[in-house]
Structure 1
């Protein structure tokens, strides 16, 4: 236990009362030379808000002082929620922060909040922010405006909540309407706006590609590698040498295959299955040995750690490693010798891992397969493909059988299995969306998924048993409040959760099984997923709720995920002795929690950027269908309107202000809007027919109106505090006549559209 941990443990004792620094040092018996380190560590703890200094100069931990330290999740309505970073219980609720209690805090800042009201009877606990510990974003992307003497930048992310004041001598070439990156030089205070300077002019709003570039900059995603990183990558060999085979098992004789998407270039996993006696199987999972080429604390490693993950945007990939590595020597390309970190498992007929080996190896992939090819061979029984891949039919059929065995075992233990289709946007050469394609999980994807899951679990359990510091992938129990709300929804569909205060994943999976194929399946699955916590990286094993797994890690994608690279290094370090030195153990204990937090943050940023670019292209795609009717399903209900999802995955909002046959009240318990006079009900999961009223790429929103209850004119009317929504770049405006929207006669068969009712 280091000094920080000792001080915190002392303060967390039930008998502890806040003490001055001098009294604390005396009670903890720090004397002489130890005092200097004590003062330094105490200051570090205070600076980081691990401890709080009261106005009387006494120190305590925040959780014992009615304070919460966490990340601020702001909204575009001006209020926010503080998400506790060290929850005192699995279902500790977030803290609601009203607009007048936000002080100068901005979205994603790390803050200290004082709790004024505890949660009760469905009401959230409420508080005020008293300190901003760490600022999340010193650089903001937005639109530049100016007057004669000064300028300001309106952030693209409305959750930021503050315009940035720009002195005239800091315009740096920005013109009115330009998309810019501004660096904040003075943070906002009660009576003063944030101040900054323009550091980059991205282009003019509406320019091709400017919105994607803005999203990249907003999430601080690097698009180029530093010179020293490129130089290091250039030194990587194009092939392996004989000297590099020492200490590795030679598996080049095995008929390994890779199974990936058609456009994948960074192939980091190969597989092999052999049927044994008595219904047993040998499963081999062979992962690119990236840790051999990316050594700790080198420029390559530091850049990979900073990036955390590869980012797959709608029109490009921002790789974690330079392409010379990710697409070259680290990629398991067919017919080429490659270094690998391998795990081979003997699995019985019920899916239990009986034995395993983890070891470094050299492999040569026999053939690259795609998900489409494997599906056509195993599911469609394509005769031409089966003849072409005759030598692989038996291994592929063994993979299919083992996949079902492993999945059945996961389902028996209660894993929660969501099966949402992925929307892939196809672009033309100019970057314009031409088709929305729903990609559903097929047998071929399931084969790789199940093999990777069992490999990750086995590695995690192995490393946990060694007792060395490690990087786990964890997913904690859901909050009770979220489960209560989910239960309210389930009651509307004749389902319910048990009264037990601890919900097991098997309970949720049974509900998903019961509603499979029903109209409400999509809605319940969506709300259930939103009710669960986010999975994250952690240096402590907390289990994985969604997978119903006691141990879990990420081992199988070191080309594109930094935590996997860390896992490979730890396997390498412990391969011969099963342990690490005491000095190394201490270093890992300090380093891994920081890497876990950073990697989780970068993962969330990447996911948000990926979603935003897809949403942008969905909006651009739907702009061609203004005034046209489509069928959809209500997948969200709020006081201000209903969200409707179309069959092609596009979501839009029907504003309650556009519903002109009645006044509608929001009934939260029923997830419904109910008409005061007509008693008409619009409930979550109901089918709805809509017209597309507006598609605005600038804010990535789509407005619908109900075909039988509303008008496009009302949907397009300016809202309070908003400029006219029917003018300006990025707004797709329907042609209006006295009778309403003029039908568009343009043929619209390009791309996947929702089916229209005949």
Structure 2
């Protein structure tokens, strides 16, 4: 460990020297002389220099001189490919993506880390463009795709369409695959400009039409771990299935408090429970009780390391890939009804205006009296269903009180400018063979909103508490919208008669909320919401409190789902250390140092989970439409591009009408008004328009649904 530390110091010194302002480009030998490197350390010097060159921190010119990339107007970033061969580089230092033409990619492929140079700076709406100088690190080692047999060899067409080239498979590397097999390929050669990459098949997943192969392909493509390592199973082998008496010591006992969980019908990992009473002073005493997962997932264990590596549970259409083994996630950690459970509680006194006037965070234990569903709670509060009112008579008064507080908290949030994005999510029903039999928008109701409001106020309270305690922490941040995207969005909504007011050149989230409220109930509601959402930055985790723009919150974190999200689990760990007085100066410094990397890792894992979930949904949507060729549907235009018009159906399925298929005129795309118009007829199609479409073609291989506009009679 000491030797590694010394080598790192030498490496930093070498880098510091080459990147200093006084540095003149020198050859290796000259640098060794300048730094007085002994002959005996020549090999170490070359190794350190090689690492810096491989990382893109130092560039060796054709004349053998070493320079910092910035001196040559070069930078590093991650390449995102496109099916047509071109791509974009996302700079490591942040900022807008750089466009890379197809003939300047230097054999870079999807997710490669590259050294690039900007050739033309972007102006206005036009992106800067550049060339890739060198691939520093390959981002993809294995590819999932469809195998096609040819004479004496085969090739694999990658599922990820951003992987532009087919992969050549020599006969001896085919592992007996036949045309139509979905396979996992290990790349053995990345090829060059004019040569395709070469690979060997390491796993045959099954035939493309076999049940379950589609989802398995996505699991392999995103490298999602289904099984847990043996070490993890060994660690939890003797884990008790009920709370031990010794574990209850020193905790606040809330078991006599009427407490319930409210979740979806099929939820098995219940990590939050709620309680509510009215105080003598007229205030509300809200308890949000969260599973104390850290009691069972100890720091630095194999279980903890695996949970961190996964970062989050992944909810695919036909299964959940959990962050924690089922013995914990559905067992001892889950707040199952009529059983004692260990929790971390946030008890909040809330006044009639929705202000949290006092709070307490403590280690606790609860006894969940009822396992309620969103459907049952909605029917009790809204429909007053007699059978349910009788069955749950014990908690009806509390549910009525909860609905009262829900409205107060919601109104307070709306007054300060919190933005609600109510785009419908998809609910996909599968049969026993995994075939989609129904797709509809996921139902949101008073019950889902109730839990949402309670979790939001809890997360804000915990985050503010941590901020003022000045402890190492992981916040959930959402930055202000990108200026360029905001400009486009403003331009677009102006066409519908909506305007955003600015103050000192800035937009408060309250203005965005106002526009969404004005659009509510109109035909354009979904499209206005979608455009506003597209202009927003993605929420992420951060070690610093940067606020949450969308919620108009100064402080925000994820505290309420430690069974399925690692950031929540880590926050619990830090809060418990604070409660026990275990955050000394040394430990605080260590946590502060590693928190940015943890936040970055958790953000990346969240993105991967989101992509995998979206991909499996799209697979099932395509499969659902595959037998509906020729059928007619009503929809609204949800996207307009220079290659096609996207139409979304009421059931959330989206397809495209290709401009090439519009043969009644020559159509052009206007990106400022987000519309397509015919040059001869003046006929136009714009975002939000209601249209009638016919299903023309469905491709499982490409994952696409093609529509045609129904001809007018």
Superposition deviation, residue 634 in structure 1: 0.7
Does residue 504 of the first structure (1) align with residue 511 of the second (2)? Answer: no
CA contact (8 A) 2:18 2:67 kept: no
* Equivalent runs, 1:559-574 vs 2, <5 Å: 559-574=563-578
Superposition deviation, residue 641 in structure 1: 1.7
SS at match of 2:335: coil
1: CA distance, partners of 2:470 / 2:19: 27
2: CA distance, partners of 1:532 / 1:440: 24
Aligned length: 702
Distance 1:265 1:421, change over 3 A: same
Distance 1:585 1:27, change over 3 A: farther
Does residue 219 of the first structure (1) align with residue 222 of the second (2)? Answer: yes
Does residue 323 of the first structure (1) align with residue 316 of the second (2)? Answer: no
* Equivalent runs, 1:1-150 vs 2, <5 Å: 47-49=54-56, 51-53=57-59, 55=61, 57-58=65-66, 60=68, 62=70, 66-87=73-94, 92-150=95-153
SS at match of 2:176: coil
SS at match of 1:625: coil
Superimposed CA distance per residue, residues 12-55 of structure 1 (whole angstroms, 9 cap, x where no aligned partner) = 99977777799999999999xx9999999887666544x34463
Residue equivalent to 2:409: 406
Residue equivalent to 1:333: 336
2: CA distance, partners of 1:350 / 1:356: 16
Does residue 543 of the first structure (1) align with residue 582 of the second (2)? Answer: no
* Equivalent runs, 1:133-212 vs 2, <5 Å: 133-212=136-215
CA contact (8 A) 2:260 2:368 kept: yes
Deviating more after overlay: 485-494 vs 40-49: 40-49
Residue equivalent to 2:616: 613
Superimposed CA distance per residue, residues 54-95 of structure 1 (whole angstroms, 9 cap, x where no aligned partner) = 637555475x764443332322232222223432xxxx3221
* Equivalent runs, 1:344-493 vs 2, <5 Å: 344-493=347-496
CA contact (8 A) 1:635 1:685 kept: yes
* Equivalent runs, 1:626-641 vs 2, <5 Å: 626-641=629-644
For 1:526, which of 524, 527, 530 is the aligned residue?
Answer: 530
CA contact (8 A) 1:287 1:342 kept: yes
1: CA distance, partners of 2:31 / 2:194: 38
SS at match of 1:421: coil
CA contact (8 A) 1:18 1:60 kept: no
2: CA distance, partners of 1:103 / 1:61: 17
TM-score (norm 2): 0.92
Residue equivalent to 1:576: 580
1: CA distance, partners of 2:30 / 2:510: 51
SS at match of 1:507: helix
Distance 1:482 1:401, change over 3 A: same
Superimposed CA distance per residue, residues 255-294 of structure 1 (whole angstroms, 9 cap, x where no aligned partner) = 1110000000000001111222444211111111111111
CA contact (8 A) 1:283 1:346 kept: yes
CA contact (8 A) 1:273 1:283 kept: yes
Does residue 265 of the first structure (1) align with residue 268 of the second (2)? Answer: yes
Superposition deviation, residue 668 in structure 1: 1.5
Superposition deviation, residue 555 in structure 1: 1.0
Deviating more after overlay: 206-215 vs 76-85: 76-85
Distance 1:13 1:111, change over 3 A: closer
Distance 1:646 1:28, change over 3 A: farther
1: CA distance, partners of 2:508 / 2:44: 46
CA contact (8 A) 2:19 2:68 kept: no
Residue equivalent to 2:3: none
Deviating more after overlay: 70-79 vs 627-636: 70-79
Does residue 644 of the first structure (1) align with residue 647 of the second (2)? Answer: yes
Superposition deviation, residue 538 in structure 1: 1.9
List runs of 5+ in structure 1 lacking aligned partners. 711-758
Residue equivalent to 1:737: none
CA contact (8 A) 2:261 2:273 kept: yes
For 2:289, which of 276, 286, 289 is the aligned residue?
Answer: 286
Superposition deviation, residue 400 in structure 1: 1.2
2: CA distance, partners of 1:578 / 1:635: 53
Deviating more after overlay: 570-579 vs 683-692: 570-579
Superposition deviation, residue 10 in structure 1: 7.5
1: CA distance, partners of 2:335 / 2:36: 58
Over the aligned positions, Cα root-mean-square deviation in angstroms equals 3.1
2: CA distance, partners of 1:631 / 1:504: 36
Superimposed CA distance per residue, residues 99-121 of structure 1 (whole angstroms, 9 cap, x where no aligned partner) = 12222222223333211222212
2: CA distance, partners of 1:18 / 1:475: 43
Residue equivalent to 1:746: none
* Equivalent runs, 1:302-321 vs 2, <5 Å: 302-321=305-324
Distance 1:441 1:40, change over 3 A: farther
Residue equivalent to 2:707: 704
Superposition deviation, residue 437 in structure 1: 2.4
1: CA distance, partners of 2:359 / 2:11: 37
Superposition deviation, residue 531 in structure 1: 1.5
Superimposed CA distance per residue, residues 573-626 of structure 1 (whole angstroms, 9 cap, x where no aligned partner) = 2212273341x3343244333322222222111111111111111122122321
2: CA distance, partners of 1:107 / 1:501: 38
SS at match of 2:560: coil
Superposition deviation, residue 239 in structure 1: 0.8
2: CA distance, partners of 1:607 / 1:695: 24
Does residue 658 of the first structure (1) align with residue 661 of the second (2)? Answer: yes
Distance 1:292 1:650, change over 3 A: same
Superposition deviation, residue 321 in structure 1: 0.8
1: CA distance, partners of 2:451 / 2:19: 48
1: CA distance, partners of 2:469 / 2:32: 37
Residue equivalent to 2:4: none
2: CA distance, partners of 1:208 / 1:632: 30
SS at match of 1:632: strand
Superposition deviation, residue 228 in structure 1: 2.1
SS at match of 2:394: helix
Distance 1:336 1:42, change over 3 A: farther
2: CA distance, partners of 1:637 / 1:216: 31
CA contact (8 A) 2:15 2:52 kept: no
2: CA distance, partners of 1:278 / 1:304: 44
For 1:238, which of 221, 238, 241 is the aligned residue?
Answer: 241
2: CA distance, partners of 1:580 / 1:4: 31
1: CA distance, partners of 2:368 / 2:177: 53
SS at match of 1:103: coil
1: CA distance, partners of 2:528 / 2:32: 55
